[in-house]
A = this chain, B = another copy of it.
């Protein structure tokens, strides 16, 4: 097995669990948030900055690397870890989500998806076999089956046909995948329909993947509906395999996902809003570009131990962002990633101490949600 999930503690009142994932590139504790390094770099960060803040695994995007610089180039470089000088774990998505997001620029058949590159408009094609081979070239520790993310809303018939095709595609991915140092995850789809979600989960579990992703959530549906689907799906998944909720990364959704038994999360949210000047705190967001912070010489968050909060003031960060200085983007990105990684560590600690229910209650109150 390329990866092994070790269950360390199950919350007695909820589905929350603390675990540990063993990979060919190190061990990381779960639940965990994975910073997104779309183009073989987590925007504005160095590998050392990511290690220092405790990132044990990052995500990279197959769609982007397939188009630029090309998976064969990355393979020739010695794989993605070596290319970007990151020696901890990496997870790649399959490219499915990105090509389906291209809208009129793509065409889906049973064989795969024809699309045009967002970079140069060239004709491209991804299929379960190609996406899997591309990910084998990239060499991440965990890779994803090629799937269609059912849009929201979608009628039942569309969702059913799409989900069944995703299941057939998962079998094709499994067929061509040969790297024993990589774990291929199946992706549960099914839209907002519980019976389709159950069917998808059961079909994939029957194929015995080393890990399971939950796709097609956080795509525009109301949060309570996402939580309801999670309530329904997670119990269908085996307890001895990691569960990854794709594209989710706001603090409230992380707590709710963890409560329902999810182990892994990723999202561009913390890094994207950071570059816009929005900083995450336990009390909610702090928009550091606002005029009120012009002469505020306090750190962003006095409780935070990140590099940014230890060394720089709100006034300085605001100045850098106003002056469009790169270092400003570095400082805000460091803070937000540190915040989320630390948030997950604290959540895990709470699970280990049988305090998760209190942790969630206190967080929701502090965050202004309850």
Interface-forming stretch among A203-211, A243-251, A314-322?
A: A314-322
Q: Interface readout for A312-330 with B: 1 if CB under 8 Å, 0 if not?
A: 1101101110110111111
The yes or no answer to A4 lying at the interface (CB within 8 A) is no
| Chain B positions within 8 Å of A41 at CB level | 320, 323, 325, 327-328
The residue in A40, A76, A78, A326 that gathers the most chain B C-beta atoms within 10 A of its C-beta is: A326
A73 x B325 contact (CB < 8 A): no
B44 x A316 contact (CB < 8 A): no
Q: Interface readout for A53-89 with B: 1 if CB under 8 Å, 0 if not?
A: 0000000000010001100010011100001110000
The yes or no answer to A39 lying at the interface (CB within 8 A) is yes
The yes or no answer to A304 lying at the interface (CB within 8 A) is no
The yes or no answer to A294 lying at the interface (CB within 8 A) is yes
B44 x A322 contact (CB < 8 A): no
CA distance A327 to B41 in the complex (A): 7
A73 x B40 contact (CB < 8 A): no
| Chain B positions within 8 Å of A325 at CB level | 39, 41, 43
CA distance A328 to B326 in the complex (A): 11
Q: Shortest CB–CB separation between residue A362 and chain B, in angstroms?
A: 33
| Chain B positions within 8 Å of A311 at CB level | 47, 85
| Chain B positions within 8 Å of A349 at CB level | none
**A312 to chain B: closest residue by CB:** B85
Residues 79 to 120 of chain A near chain B (Cβ within 8 Å): 83-85
Q: Shortest CB–CB separation between residue A326 and chain B, in angstroms?
A: 4
| Chain B positions within 8 Å of A330 at CB level | 46, 326
The yes or no answer to A45 lying at the interface (CB within 8 A) is yes
The yes or no answer to A295 lying at the interface (CB within 8 A) is yes
The yes or no answer to A193 lying at the interface (CB within 8 A) is no
Given contacts A77-B315, A85-B312, A316-B77, contact A294 B69 (CB under 8 A): yes
Chain A residues bordering chain B, tally (CB within 8 A): 37
CA distance A68 to B116 in the complex (A): 44
Residues 1 to 47 of chain A near chain B (Cβ within 8 Å): 39-41, 43-47
Q: CB < 8 Å: which of B73, B297, B312, B326 contacts A44?
A: B326
**A77 to chain B: closest residue by CB:** B297
Given contacts A45-B327, A46-B327, A326-B329, contact A40 B77 (CB under 8 A): no
CA distance A46 to B323 in the complex (A): 16
Given contacts A326-B329, A329-B326, contact A315 B43 (CB under 8 A): no
B68 x A316 contact (CB < 8 A): no
Q: CB < 8 Å: which of B313, B323, B329 contacts A77?
A: B313
CA distance A316 to B73 in the complex (A): 10
| Chain B positions within 8 Å of A85 at CB level | 311-312, 316
A83 x B316 contact (CB < 8 A): yes
A295 x B327 contact (CB < 8 A): no
Q: Interface readout for A178-201 with B: 1 if CB under 8 Å, 0 if not?
A: 000000000000000000000000
12 CB contacts below 8 A, A to B, read A39-B325, A40-B316, A40-B319, A43-B325, A43-B326, A43-B327, A69-B294, A69-B318, A73-B295, A77-B316, A85-B311, A326-B329
Chain A residues close to B by CB (< 8 Å): 39-41, 43-47, 64, 68-69, 73, 76-78, 83-85, 294-295, 297, 311-313, 315-316, 318-320, 322-323, 325-330
Given A73-B315, A85-B316: 5 more A-B contacts, CB < 8 Å: A40-B320, A46-B330, A68-B323, A69-B319, A77-B316
